[in-house]
Amino acid sequence: MLYFFNFYFGAIVGSFIYVCILRLPKGEDIVFKKSYCERCGKEIKWLYNIPLFSFLWLKGKSHCCHEKIKPDYLIVELITGLLFFINFILFNNYHTIIIFDLLYVILLLIIIIDYKNRIIFDVFSYSLIFTGLVVNYFFSSINPFNITILDALITMIISSGLFGLLKFIYKKMKKVDGLGGGDIILIAGLSAWTGFKFFLYLLILSSISGIIYYYLLNKNRDENFEIPFGSSLGLSFIILLYSSILF
């Protein structure tokens, strides 16, 4: 029963995550504004807004205008539910489970918003910096990367400084930004968790996923195509974190 509870609680959180994904880039309220149909704009009644079940019950079509509902809703709910379920299996106390559930909420917001809109909200990256430093200082034993607070601080400075320098050099040479400021803050946030050794692995994985993004999304082979590097970093971090736990 607890396994199902954690999975479905994750699906509920995933529903809220998707609301944030839709509304934050448009500057809309994510707390008080009621859910509305993306197609016709009508308010969605609670009965047709139950995570997972409503989508399946309505057979993927909106009740108000009978237009198809994007499967993104269901996918985000399922992924979040699955991540919460895995965390419940892997970690042996509720404090650790809550911390990593929160971490994955932040990462999913970064991954999907950057993938869809090429935007990284600084508040999410600063949250990673804050939580990473707090965990490594007070609860270092729960960090699967097993690093010290000093390692975290030094890696943050080196990683953000290095990519800040690369951004500066690229702009001087090409007269355009090759890397967003949000990417640099995100790199600092992730390195606050990984430390130097695993940060190098993160760079390798994110570079590979960035290349995959380029060839999958850039069908016209546009040289100026903007790779969602924040999304690549977040996805690579999740893979690296689970790998460090399991292997």
Distance CA 89, CA 86 (A): 5
**What string of DSSP letters covers 111-148?**
HHHHHHHS---HHHHHHHHHHHHHHHHH-GGG-TT---
Token pair for 126 = 């600063």
Model's pTM, two decimal places?
0.93
pLDDT band at 103 (very low <50, low <70, confident <90, very high): very high
Tell me the average pLDDT of the chain: 91
Q: What is the mean pLDDT of residues 87-113?
A: 95
**Over 90: is that where the pLDDT of 87 sits?**
yes
Residue 69 has pLDDT above 90, yes or no: no
Residue 208, pLDDT > 90, answer yes
Q: What's the pLDDT score for residue 238?
A: 96
**Full 3-state SS string of 42-75:** CECCHHHCCCCHHHHHCCCECCCCCCECCCHHHH
Q: Binning pLDDT at 50, 70 and 90, where does residue 117 land? A: very high
Q: Percentage of the chain surpassing pLDDT 70?
A: 100
Residue 41 is predicted with a pLDDT of 78
Residues 6+ apart with CB under 8 A from 233: 110, 183, 186, 187, 190, 202, 206
Q: What local confidence, expressed as pLDDT, does residue 214 receive?
A: 86
pLDDT for 223 beyond 80: no
Asked whether 156 and 129 are in contact (CB, 8 A), the reply is yes
Q: What is the Cα–Cα distance from 94 to 74, expressed in whole angstroms?
A: 26
For 151-192, how does the pLDDT look when each residue is reduced to its tens digit (9 = 90+)?
A: 999 999 999 999 999 888 888 887 777 777 889 999 999 999
Report the pLDDT averaged over residues 41-67. 84
pLDDT tens digits for range 210-221 = 999 888 888 777
Within 10 angstroms of residue 10's Cβ, the number of other Cβ atoms is: 27
Percent pLDDT > 90 in the chain is 65
